[in-house]
Structure 1
Amino acid sequence: MYKPHPSQRLTDLFRAKPYQGARPQDAEFVFMGLDANYDADIERGRAFDSVLEYHADGVAFWQRHGVHHPFLLPGYRGAGQPYHQNFAKVGLRSEDARRVSFVELLNVPTIGGHDLAVEDLDPQHLDELNALILGGARRNVFLSDKVAKLMRRSGRFGWLRKPIANQVLPVLHKVGATTVYQHLHFSNYGKFQGRMTIEAAAIAALAAAKPEGGPEAR
């Protein structure tokens, strides 16, 4: 069971836009996580206004500030920062803002540590994520092993293979022009750093590749 975040302002933003960055349906790179977890007292921190700005329009935020997330702005220290520091190593720039989306299986913000259960998840939200993938548009979707396991347990992603161990960006599914990859969660560190560096380079190469039919193909 999870603990919902006490901030009504943050919760309202998630209800309006249950994603971060670009709208998932418009993005070429979709990074799927378990839940968006924040410090319980984030409203009292000086980063909160930036967090609200980001959730209101993540694309404009990246283009305006030059970083993809408010946790990377000077002065922020707290939960979530290592994840976004590692993601930044992929090397995507503000010009890529419209190509990148972060979306979670749980569509409300949370606090504290917890293990999500299938019963915590909104079936309609899961069905929307399933439709996003099975639509087959030109898109790369990235799942960590924990995300993939919970998706399988939900029973709503029958096409999804079991997680694959000890490979760099193994492919879990392909449909149309959509490819689903397994990746190491960006909050990993220590002994996983070498593989994360290799995966970051592989994601960067995907972002730099020219699509079939020219740069405007979609």
Structure 2
Amino acid sequence: MLATRRFAAAVLSALCVVTAASCSSGDSPGPAETSLSPAQRLAAAKTKVDAAPSVHLALTSSGLPDGASGIVSADGWGAHPPAFKGTFKVALKGIQADAEITSVGGEVYAKLPLVPGTNKIDPKAFGLPDPATLFSADQGLTTLLTKTQNPAVGKQVRQGADVLTTVSGTLPGAAVVDLFQIGDRSGTYQVSYGLTDAQELRTVTLTGPFFGAGTSSTYTLALDKYGQPVTITKP
């Protein structure tokens, strides 16, 4: 009987080694085990986003100053080669409005409130970036991953069925302003990424002086639905 018990204990111990997650105690997931450094994880995440035919993006914000002009939120699809279609909520001196945006082939079209039809626009005239640029491998969102300074792995967080590892660091103001066309070029921004164990980028949280020195606002991007069929054409 004693031998049987010892054998059972040995088998149980072996199973716990193989399936450590199921034998661990507590509700909070532990740090992901990987041989990659934080910088290598960010570089791998960049490669995955850049290689995806399409990705869904949702943008939210908090801490926008009263009366500010800029992007409040957005929801849409990006594709490679760089293209975008979706809806932006934009504030103009505190007044908010929705705009349906399509960007493809280097041209941006918008359906704006109180303006009939869909019209070609210059996004810089509205203080906005060309949203398709976000999906450029050498100018877009993923360039922030490899420009992040002093990246460090933090805690893990659960997002739906996924457990994401956070990698945090800082970004120079120039990198943020060049991409989003807003912010303090001389400032420093705090950034945190949420990555799956397969190094798939799911979240980006940026905090800093988006509305000038002395301010602090946060933009959070969520990325999902990698590679789903999407067609983006001129309206």
Q: TM-score, normalised by structure 2?
A: 0.26
* Greater Rg by CA: 2
Flag the structure with higher strand content: 2
Q: Which has the higher contact order (CA 8 A, sep 6+)?
A: 1
Higher helix share: 1
